[in-house]
Amino acid sequence: MKAAASSGQRERLVIVGNGMVGHHCVEQLVSRGALQRFEVRVFGEERQRAYDRVHLSEYFGGSCAETLALCERDFYSTSGVHLHLGEAVLEIDRERCEVVTAEGRYGYDHLVLATGSYPFVPPIEGCSGSARLVYRTLDDLDGIRAAAAEARRGVVVGGGLLGLEAANALKSLGLGLRRLGLFTSIVLFDQRVSMWTSLLGLTVAVIASLKFGLAFLLVYLLWIGITRLILTIMLLCSGHNVGPAYPLILYYNQIIGALMKIYVFFRLDKQSWTRQPTALKRDLASFQQWFNTWSSRTMTFSAASIFVAVLFMVV
């Protein structure tokens, strides 16, 4: 969003959001000498200056806001950037090219929105106040710590990476482990077994058809077709909107899913979940690094050998 620059003066650049992106933007402006051309003003809703949100969980492991901070305390003032912390932009007046906060109105010639994202909270009844916590900011983590002090049990909704980090945080806060319910245990067991059986069935059918005749592969495909069709019909009857290609997609998903799971499962030492150009900490002691690599390789080799042995037994 851009309006005419005030002539003779530096152009006014307002950045809304002092998170990882907003801060990186300021760093780039400073390092490229752009402050000669722009008067930069940054608004951050949070009280803390930009910090490393990717390593937020370390806050429960002894880090503090200061160690997580992305810059020295005086970086903004010495660079000549106006930093407004704890001051959310409430409105953008595009007609007058001004941002509005609780403290006042600030004009801009250029506006950068680096406001990040908000966690989605499902509309669950009773999920409000201290019973509804999210895992995104340092304040959120303080809230979780305070709530945990008076709680016996915590529930994490969402089992992705952040869900796992949150669960680990609850554990470190002494909320303890509970046994998994029977259904969850069965689902997890099924996931682990099916990543092998899906592939085993297909491989046995292919080898058997090569060895004894095409009939084996045809019977296998018939079995796959009928069972996936029955599931599709059941889904249709229970009101799900599934198309005619669903049985095929289902089977394709199972095979690709099994390959993916096996691939990931045996490369745990290589995992680095990130969309940012950040590097996973690899400063492990050399023995630990060696152990991670070789235990992964041994697991892959053992599992592949068992798979081939079962194959020979069956066919």
Ligand X SMILES: Cc1cc2nc3c(=O)[nH]c(=O)nc-3n(C[C@H](O)[C@H](O)[C@H](O)COP(=O)(O)OP(=O)(O)OC[C@H]3O[C@@H](n4cnc5c(N)ncnc54)[C@H](O)[C@@H]3O)c2cc1C
**Within positions 127 to 146, which residues make up the interface with ligand X, using CB under 6 A?**
135-136
Between CA 1 and CA 34 the distance in angstroms is 18
Asked if 16 is part of the footprint of ligand X (rule: CB under 6 A), the reply reads yes
Asked if 30 is part of the footprint of ligand X (rule: CB under 6 A), the reply reads no
Residue with tokens 């042995």: 309
User: Quick one: 16 or 224, whose CB is closer to ligand X?
Assistant: 16
Asked if 69 is part of the footprint of ligand X (rule: CB under 6 A), the reply reads no
The residue within the footprint of ligand X, chosen from 56, 144, 195, 262 (CB under 6 A), is: 56
Instruction: Write a three-state SS string for 47-81.
Output: CCCCECHHHHHHHHHCCCHHHHECCCCCHHHHHCC
Site track 162-191 with ligand X (rule: CB under 6 A), x = hit: x--x--------------------------
> In the bound complex, what is the minimum distance in angstroms from residue 270's beta carbon to ligand X?
15
Asked if 154 is part of the footprint of ligand X (rule: CB under 6 A), the reply reads no
The residue within the footprint of ligand X, chosen from 5, 34, 35, 54 (CB under 6 A), is: 54
| CA-wise closest residue to 259 among 311, 194, 310 | 194
Asked if 11 is part of the footprint of ligand X (rule: CB under 6 A), the reply reads no
Between CA 38 and CA 9 the distance in angstroms is 9
Asked if 114 is part of the footprint of ligand X (rule: CB under 6 A), the reply reads yes
- Output the six-digit token pair for 94: 């595009």
The residue within the footprint of ligand X, chosen from 46, 68, 97, 202 (CB under 6 A), is: 46
> In the bound complex, what is the minimum distance in angstroms from residue 50's beta carbon to ligand X?
7
Which amino acid would we find at residue 135?
Answer: Y
Asked if 156 is part of the footprint of ligand X (rule: CB under 6 A), the reply reads no
Asked if 116 is part of the footprint of ligand X (rule: CB under 6 A), the reply reads yes
Sheet holding 89-93, edge to edge: 89-93, 98-101, 105-107
The vertex-66 CA angle with 60 and 67, nearest 5°, equals 65
Choices 12-20, 65-73, 175-183, 198-206 (CB under 6 A): range interacting with ligand X: 12-20
Q: How many CB atoms lie within 10 A of CB 180?
A: 11
Residue sitting closest to ligand X (CB): 19
For residue 5, the Cα-to-chain-centroid distance in whole angstroms is 40
User: Quick one: 165 or 250, whose CB is closer to ligand X?
Assistant: 165
The residue within the footprint of ligand X, chosen from 211, 275, 281, 282 (CB under 6 A), is: 275
Which amino acid would we find at residue 206?
Answer: V
User: Quick one: 101 or 194, whose CB is closer to ligand X?
Assistant: 101
Under a CB-based contact definition with an 8 Å cutoff, are residues 203 and 311 in contact?
A: yes
- Helix/strand/coil for 275: coil
DSSP count for the chain of H helices, then E strands: 9, 7
- Output the six-digit token pair for 4: 């005419």
Q: Please say whether the dihedral angle defined by the alpha carbons of residues 165, 167, 170 and 172, taken in this order, is positive or negative.
A: negative
> In the bound complex, what is the minimum distance in angstroms from residue 158's beta carbon to ligand X?
12
> In the bound complex, what is the minimum distance in angstroms from residue 175's beta carbon to ligand X?
18
The vertex-89 CA angle with 87 and 94, nearest 5°, equals 150
Choices 11-19, 71-79, 123-131, 283-291 (CB under 6 A): range interacting with ligand X: 11-19
- Between strands 82-85 and 38-44, the pairing is parallel
Asked if 45 is part of the footprint of ligand X (rule: CB under 6 A), the reply reads yes
User: Quick one: 43 or 75, whose CB is closer to ligand X?
Assistant: 43
> In the bound complex, what is the minimum distance in angstroms from residue 241's beta carbon to ligand X?
32
- What is the contact surface with ligand X in residues (CB under 6 A)? 16-22, 43-46, 53-54, 56-57, 88-89, 114-116, 135-136, 162, 165, 273-276
